[in-house]
Amino acid sequence: MINFTLKQLRYFEAVARQEHFGRAAEMCAISQPALSAQIAALEGALGQQLFERGARQVRLTLFGEKFAPHAKDILRQAEALSDMARGSGGPALDRLRIGVIPTIAPYLLPSIIGQITAAHPDIDLMVRETMTHKLIEELGDGKLDCAIVALPVSEAALTEVALFDEAMVLVRPAGDADRPVPDMNTLSQMKLLLLEEGHCFRDQALSFCSLRNSLPREGLDGSSLTTLVQMVGAGIGVTLIPEMAIPVETRSAAVSIAQMGAPHPKRTVGMIWRKTSVLSKQLGDIAELVRKAAAQRPAFL
């Protein structure tokens, strides 16, 4: 019998995904030598080489490509067994792996964590902040229990629960505070600063302004809302941010905030999880705690 461990399979999957031992080690929170040793042990147990190791990149061998989907299935089933054990214990929730998108995490997480830990004092809470498409992928792989995102995600395998609607507000240089608020048509002609591709908030802003994602936009994208707001303060353009970001992002920038006229731009924030999750009842309760946390935040408009 060939002997290998789930941990080795997780390390294999990380290297296969990252195509780099260093990044995979960082993702798995272990040292690169330790990860390399585990991969070597797995290859020794299988009697086959899984990766072609280059100077800058590693690639799956032919055997590695055949092995990868089976490893993924084993890991998914292992997570399903873990969920089953956790779900069979009744209403208690001892571990929660929750994902949050970057345009929500810095502004709502403290309240969310407070609500969850108050309701479940002994919970082992793990938080993952990344973009929506990665959260959906990790939900499907069983690496997350749920995620807080902008809806809809329109994934047949996922349950979507809407939590609240939130306004998108216009950020302009401080000197523009007394000027009329531009309408949608005017805004689409202005120098609009957006998050870089991959962020769902970027797509929502483009949709509201009736702009195509393929338009050339050199120098008009930022990696975070903080960067965008600071660029506005420097007079480079204008941007849209979610209402919950106002107190954090505008406190140290020379900007003004304005609410757009009708149709008011907004987004729907919700929670998603696998339809097959045995934790569905508990996750529904967590969604209510997130809704409560959001309802308690002060209004800024």
pLDDT digits (tens, 9 = 90+) for 6-15: 889 989 988 9
- Whether the CB-CB separation of 96 and 286 falls below 8 Å is answered with yes
Do the two domains 87-164+270-295 and 166-266 of this chain adopt the same fold?
yes
Q: Residue 116 burial (CB < 10 Å; 0-12/13-18/19+)?
A: buried
Neighbours of 128 (CB within 10 A): 15
Asked if the model's pLDDT at residue 247 lies above 70, the reply is yes
- Note if the pTM is more than 0.85: no
Q: Mean pLDDT, to the nearest integer, of 2-26? A: 87
CA gap 61, 92 in Å, rounded: 44
- Of 3.40.47.10, 1.25.40.10, 3.30.1490.190, 3.40.190.10, the CATH number of 166-266 is 3.40.190.10
Judged by average pLDDT, the poorest of 117-126, 204-213, 286-295 is: 204-213
CA gap 44, 256 in Å, rounded: 62
- Of 1.20.120.1200, 3.40.50.720, 1.10.10.10, 3.40.449.10, the CATH number of 6-81 is 1.10.10.10
CA gap 217, 27 in Å, rounded: 32
Q: What are phi and psi of 12, to 5 degrees?
A: -60, -45
Torsion angle defined by CA atoms of residues 128, 132, 135 and 137, in that order, rounded to the nearest 10 degrees: -160
Cα–Cα distances (Å) from 201 to 83, 163, 272, in that order, read 31, 17, 17
CATH architecture assignment, domain 87-164+270-295: 3-Layer(aba) Sandwich (3.40)
Assign 3-state DSSP to the chain and report helix, strand, coil percentages, each to 5. 45, 20, 35
Asked if the model's pLDDT at residue 214 lies above 50, the reply is no
